[in-house]
Amino acid sequence: MLSPAAAAVRPERWQALSPEERRTRPPLCPDLVIELASASDSGPSGAEAMRLEAGDVLPGLVMDLEEIWAA
């Protein structure tokens, strides 16, 4: 089974799950999915790829990707 590098679910959707569903792989589609490039990829194509903002999906979520791409 494949899974993304990172995923986020709105809090109200997460709270609607039962405790058992939260302990295992939740039966829902994430609101935001992040997949990072593999080591064989050439990296970001421009400055816009150095910062991720979730916008209306998850307001306030901002990730600075500069350290990830530098590794």
With b for 16 or more beta-carbon neighbours within 10 A and e for fewer, the 46-57 pattern comes to eeeebebeeeee
Range of the domain at 29: 6-70
**Is the residue at 1 inside a domain?**
no
Report the domain count for the chain.
1
* pLDDT value of residue 41: 64
Helical ranges in 1-71 per DSSP H:
11-15, 19-23, 66-70
Name the more confident of 66 and 12: 12
User: If you ran DSSP here, which 8-state letter would residue 66 be given?
Assistant: H
* pLDDT value of residue 23: 92
5-64 tens-digit pLDDT: 888 899 999 999 999 999 988 889 999 988 876 666 666 666 556 888 888 888 888 888
- Is pTM, for the whole model, over 0.75? no
**Is the residue at 28 inside a domain?**
yes
Name the more confident of 71 and 64: 64
Is there a contact between 17 and 28 (Cβ–Cβ < 8 Å)?
Answer: yes
Length in residues, the chain: 71
**Is the residue at 36 inside a domain?**
yes
